[in-house]
């Protein structure tokens, strides 16, 4: 992996995906999820501040890009949410079927 992919691209993605118009859309969707949640393609964790913590029992998040989930893990640290992060893609999710109440996917299907 190049220096650009490892160090620059994750920060650029985090900046662009964290812009006001995109956060406006996140605020409309993310607070609606509840229970045991699967987030596919968590990226740098920009949805995390928008979860309604009182409705969440646990979040399992996956993303193949470790350089992005490293940023997400820093955000998790600042929040009172029960979250497991897995570095894998959505094509083969190593979890039991029908084990989630909500599945959240934002700005990710274009990448899969």
Ligand X SMILES: C[S@@+](CC[C@H](N)C(=O)[O-])C[C@H]1O[C@@H](n2cnc3c(N)ncnc32)[C@H](O)[C@@H]1O
Cβ neighbors of 17 (< 8 A, separation 6 or more) are: 43, 44, 46, 107
Nearer residue to ligand X within complex by CB, 53 or 109: 109
Render 22-34 in DSSP notation, one character per residue. HHHHHHHHGGG--
CB 34, min distance to ligand X, A: 18
CB 96, min distance to ligand X, A: 18
**Contacts with ligand X, residue ranges (CB under 6 A):** 13, 17, 40-41, 43, 46-47, 63-65, 68, 89-91, 106-108, 111-112
């Amino acid at each position: 992996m190049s220096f650009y992919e490892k160090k620059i691209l994750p920060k650029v993605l985090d900046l662009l995906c964290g812009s006001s118009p995109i956060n406006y859309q996140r605020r409309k969707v993310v607070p609606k999820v509840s229970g045991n949640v699967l987030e596919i393609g968590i990226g740098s964790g920009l949805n995390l501040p928008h979860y309604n913590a009182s409705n969440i029992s646990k979040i399992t998040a996956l993303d193949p890009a470790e350089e992005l989930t490293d940023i997400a893990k820093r955000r998790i640290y600042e929040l009172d949410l029960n979250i497991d992060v897995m570095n894998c893609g959505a094509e083969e999710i190593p979890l039991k079927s029908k084990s989630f109440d909500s599945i959240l996917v934002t700005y990710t299907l274009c990448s899969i």
